[in-house]
Amino acid sequence: MKELFGKLADGTEIHRWSLENGGTRLKVLSYGGIVQSLEIPDGEGRYANVCLGFDTIEDYVTASPYFGALVGRYGNRIGKGRFTLDGTAYQLSVNDGENSLHGGSEGFDKAVWEVEPFTQGPDIGLVLQHTSADGEMGFPGTLRTKVTYTLTEHGDWRVDYEATTDKVTVVNLTSHVYWNLAGESSGSVNGHELEIAAARYTPVDSGLIPTGELADVAGTPFDFRAAKAVGADLRVAHQQLLYAKGFDHNWVLDKGVTAEPQHVATLKDPSSGRTLRIATTEPGLQFYSGNFLDGTLVGTGGAVHRQGDALCLETQHHPDSPNRPDFPSTVLRPGRTYRTTTIHSFDA
Ligand code: BGC
């Protein structure tokens, strides 16, 4: 189902698509490819929307900290918004202190995507397409991006990312859903249990740029190899937690880059039993514990969102990879196709 959601200041119409399959209900906006709502049942069949969102397009345009959005061209940070590629230096839009975050000031979260619904056997979904001009936000190359949201017959939400370029460039696409499996506007997620299949993470400096070290999680608050409450170590006086006001770090997934999506993380809300499992082809996972939610935003559930009322699990390549030749490469060359996949599965 497609309906008018609102209009941008210049009159552009923004539509909302509603899909349901395999017990999962998804609402997607053409603005930013935003997942406005994702409803799943608990063990008793009681549905809840488990994603933070807004009711109006105005809120998304003026106030959204990437709620549910597609993030590009580069998910997370690039130090000072600078990098050199094949001997040419590039300066990106800088929008987070001295750094570039999530593609710069007008990232893919603010683009109006072309959206086409599809049915394939028992699966349904949406194909979202967007072309970013050569030089946009400082990135080289015309980037043609296609993101496919599939709701499978089992109720999985699968995201396939594809991109091509006409000049050598860097790409790192992700999705910025804020999860609260007890339901949007239900309060803190500190009691959610999280497991991440990663023995290392990328420590950061005070601007949240990786230092280059791949540090062991063993014996630190960053050890989620066995499921642990999100809030268990959140108040440990660890320098890395102080820098980020909580968790806002990239875990180096043990499996590395894979051709097929592999399991990397499980998030469970013990109160409702709702469980999210993430499988991906990507080598990194940004776990952000909603540190910068500060009680100034009102969600679709009608409540104010405060610090820790949701968390993000963004599958990605490591932040600042264009300046770290030893990290898995984010370079895309003409004639090649960027392809990554992330699958979100639910049960209760
Ligand atoms: C970043 C955070 C940022 C948040 C919302 C996350 O991916 O790592 O630092 O505040 O996105 O913008």
Domains of the chain by residue range: 2-347
Closest Cα to atom 9, ligand 1: which residue? 248
Instruction: Output the six-digit token pair for 14.
Output: 């923004």
Per the CB < 8 A criterion, the answer to whether 157 and 344 are in contact is yes
Which active-site residues does the annotation give? 176, 314
Instruction: Please report the atom of ligand 1 found closest to the CA of residue 75.
Output: 7
Q: What is the pLDDT of residues 33-87, one digit of tens each?
A: 999 999 999 999 999 999 999 999 999 999 999 999 999 999 999 999 999 999 9
Per-residue burial over 184-209, b = 16 or more CB atoms within 10 Å of its CB, e = otherwise = bbbebbbebbbbbbbbbbbbbeeebb
CA of 288 to the centre of ligand 1 (A): 7
Closest Cα to atom 7, ligand 1: which residue? 76
Q: Measuring from each residue's beta carbon to the nearest atom of ligand 1, which residues come in under 6 Å?
A: 65-66, 76, 208, 248, 286, 288, 292, 312, 314
Q: Which residue has the tokens 């230092």?
A: 211
Q: What is the pLDDT of residues 148-172, one digit of tens each?
A: 999 999 999 999 999 999 999 999 9
Distances (CA, A) of 62 to 8, 34, 54, 98, 176: 11, 14, 11, 22, 17
Instruction: Please report the atom of ligand 1 found closest to the CA of residue 291.
Output: 10
Instruction: Output the six-digit token pair for 194.
Output: 């999280």
CA of 262 to the centre of ligand 1 (A): 24
* Backbone CA torsion sign across 178, 198, 163, 211: positive
Amino acid at 189: V
Instruction: Please report the atom of ligand 1 found closest to the CA of residue 244.
Output: 9
The Cα–Cα gap between 335 and 321 comes to 21
Query: Does pTM top 0.85 for this prediction?
Result: yes
Tell me the sheet residues that pair with 170.
331
Fold of domain 2-347: Beta-galactosidase; Chain A, domain 5 (2.70.98)
Closest Cα to atom 8, ligand 1: which residue? 248
Distances (CA, A) of 139 to 35, 172, 310: 26, 12, 31
CA of 76 to the centre of ligand 1 (A): 7
Q: What are phi and psi of 301, to 5 degrees?
A: -80, -5
pLDDT of residue 14: 98
CA of 41 to the centre of ligand 1 (A): 28
Closest Cα to atom 12, ligand 1: which residue? 65
Residue numbers of the chain with a pLDDT score lower than 50: none
Strands across the sheet with 114-120, in order?
Answer: 114-120, 123-132, 143-151, 157-165, 338-347, 275-280, 262-268, 193-196, 228-229
The Cα–Cα gap between 260 and 197 comes to 16
pLDDT of residue 156: 98
